[in-house]
Amino acid sequence: MKDDNSLANGGEPPSDHRLQSLKGFHSAGRGFWRDVPAADWNDWHWQLKHRITMPEQLQRFMPTLTPEEFAGAKLANHKLALAITPYFFNLIDPLDEHCPIRRQVIPRIEETRTASWEMSDPCGEDSHSPVPGLVHRYPDRVLFLVTDRCAAYCRYCTRSRLVSNASGYDFHPEFDKPIAYIAQHPEIRDVLLSGGDPLLLSDEKLEQLLGRLRAIPHVEFLRIGSRIPTFLPQRITPELCAMLKKYHPLFMSIHSNHPRELTTEVRDALGRLADAGIPLGNQSVLLKHVNDDVTVMKAHIQKLLMCRVKPYYLYQCDLISGSAHLRASVRQGLEIMTQLRGYTTGYAVPQYVIDAPGGGGKVPINPDYILSHNADRVVLRNYEGKIFEYPEAPDGTPLSSPPKEIEAPQMI
Ligand code: SF4
């Protein structure tokens, strides 16, 4: 298969064939598991039980595994475990070493190399944790880490110090202390369940947790952050959706990085969540040779809208140890944003952010659309590079007539 990233920004326009392969919806298919009964294949427990977790297994399923990948897979279980669901594995193009799906889940030896500016806790979560498993960084909301397990493991995971429990971090998720903290802090009106992946909990356990949080009067708003709709769409059962809809307002942030992750299975799973009244947003990470290309990014965000998902954040890849080989530059991120804003539906355009190293929180990063801002006017650049003036009264109060020295807005 053709490398989706062979055309960098400013390169040749994509061929119709390439665009179609990015935009169309296709099933992941069964691949090596073609003899597995459909009832098993569509059972999320079967998918979890048959995950690829060992280097030898990976090599057997993918003889084109490179020495760098095999070495990475050998060392992964000391850092961030290797695990790939059969469903997601089938999205990998084994003939393409640079396959954007492959780069996200197959370890490489480069993960063992740490740049001097990389960290094990790049967002400073541990220093903002009043009780184990809870991060309270912003005034009115908390991050509640309800599990340390995921359906599959992303090689750039910002929380790789604790997810999969491979590095000896010794994290033991528990509910009582975080819930007691939330109950004692009336300023907390928004709780984001994350981990690990909360949708790995059984329906019963998740319902118990949501029920306890809903019973706290000042908790207005619940959110779940999950990669499961893309790693394991089989988990999004009608029963799960029927349970979740009892706890509104409940939003979900999914995680997808490339249009090929949005299969017919994922589209249908997201449709079930949307039909349950759950507003869906997507969080992507800008990744080298995965989505650092405006054609790929635009196809992805447009396809997300077709799946009833609002592209929410595009993250600059955090400075997590061993991720340099996956990190695209801020310059590339800004260039992509410049080529999205105005060129496609505003709903499709995510907010590009950097999670400030050390715990400063998300900082929005935007191309420069304000060229100058004086007491009486703002000079703006639009998406086409045209310049406009927006006059305003010096003290901000509306005037019955515009100040004489300011002309009506005009294109310069
Ligand atoms: S699903 Fe989320 S928490 Fe799990 S490995 Fe991926 S980024 Fe990390």
User: 7-64 pLDDT, tens per residue?
Assistant: 334 445 566 677 777 889 999 999 999 999 999 999 999 999 999 999 999 999 999 9
350: nearest Cα among 257, 274, 267: 257
Same-domain check for residues 67 and 125: yes
pLDDT for res 88: 98
Same-domain check for residues 361 and 381: no
Average pLDDT across the chain, whole number? 92
Residue span of the structural domain in which 17 resides:
1-367
101: nearest Cα among 31, 44, 161, 39: 31
Maximum distance among all alpha carbons in the chain?
A: 79
Q: How far is CA 249 from CA 138, 139, 183, 222, 274, in A?
A: 20, 20, 18, 6, 13
Same-domain check for residues 289 and 412: no
User: 136-151 pLDDT, tens per residue?
Assistant: 999 999 999 999 999 9
Cα 123 to averaged position of ligand 1 atoms, centre (Å): 15
pTM of the model: 0.91
| Tokens found for residue 200 | 């790995």
Same-domain check for residues 103 and 162: yes
Which segment of 10-14, 163-167, 272-276, 387-391 scores lowest on mean pLDDT? 10-14
Same-domain check for residues 405 and 287: no
Q: Tell me, yes or no, if 404 is annotated catalytic.
A: no
Same-domain check for residues 382 and 277: no
Instruction: Name the catalytic one among 159, 161, 223, 227.
Output: 159
Instruction: Name the catalytic one among 51, 79, 103, 137.
Output: 137
Any alpha helices (H) in 50-197, and if so which ranges? 55-61, 67-76, 86-89, 100-105, 176-184
Cα 1 to averaged position of ligand 1 atoms, centre (Å): 27
Count of structural domains, the chain: 2
Which segment of 236-245, 277-286, 337-346, 386-395 scores lowest on mean pLDDT? 386-395
Residue 106's domain is classified under what CATH number?
A: 3.20.20.70
CA trace torsion 372, 330, 136, 304 (10° rounding): 100
Is-cis flag, bond preceding 196, omega within 30? yes
Same-domain check for residues 377 and 314: no
Same-domain check for residues 3 and 117: yes
Rounded to 5°, angle at Cα 287 from 282 and 288? 155
For residues 369-382, average pLDDT = 92
Same-domain check for residues 271 and 383: no
Same-domain check for residues 79 and 166: yes
Helix axes 294-306, 16-23, angle to 10 degrees: 40
Last residue within a domain, chosen from 331, 347, 367: 367
Rounded to 5°, angle at Cα 402 from 398 and 405? 130
Same-domain check for residues 326 and 380: no
Q: Tell me, yes or no, if 126 is annotated catalytic.
A: no
pLDDT band, very low/low/confident/very high, at 397 (cuts 50, 70, 90)? low
Give the atom of ligand 1 at the shortest distance from the alpha carbon of 160. Answer: 8
* Residues having CB within 6 Å of any atom of ligand 1: 150, 153-154, 157, 159, 163, 195-197, 227, 255
Instruction: Name the catalytic one among 205, 308, 362, 381.
Output: 362
For residues 124-141, average pLDDT = 94
For 119, counting Cβ atoms within 10 Å of its Cβ (0-12 exposed, 13-18 middle, 19+ buried), the class is middle
Last residue within a domain, chosen from 330, 349, 367: 367
Tabulate helix, strand, coil % of the chain (nearest 5): 35, 20, 45
Q: Tell me, yes or no, if 241 is annotated catalytic.
A: no
Q: Which residue has the tokens 């990475």?
A: 72
pLDDT for res 400: 57
Instruction: Check pLDDT > 50 for residue 403.
Output: no
Which amino acid residue places its CA nearest to atom 8 of ligand 1? 157
Same-domain check for residues 119 and 191: yes
For residues 51-78, average pLDDT = 95
Residue 131 near residue 121, CB atoms below 8 Å: no
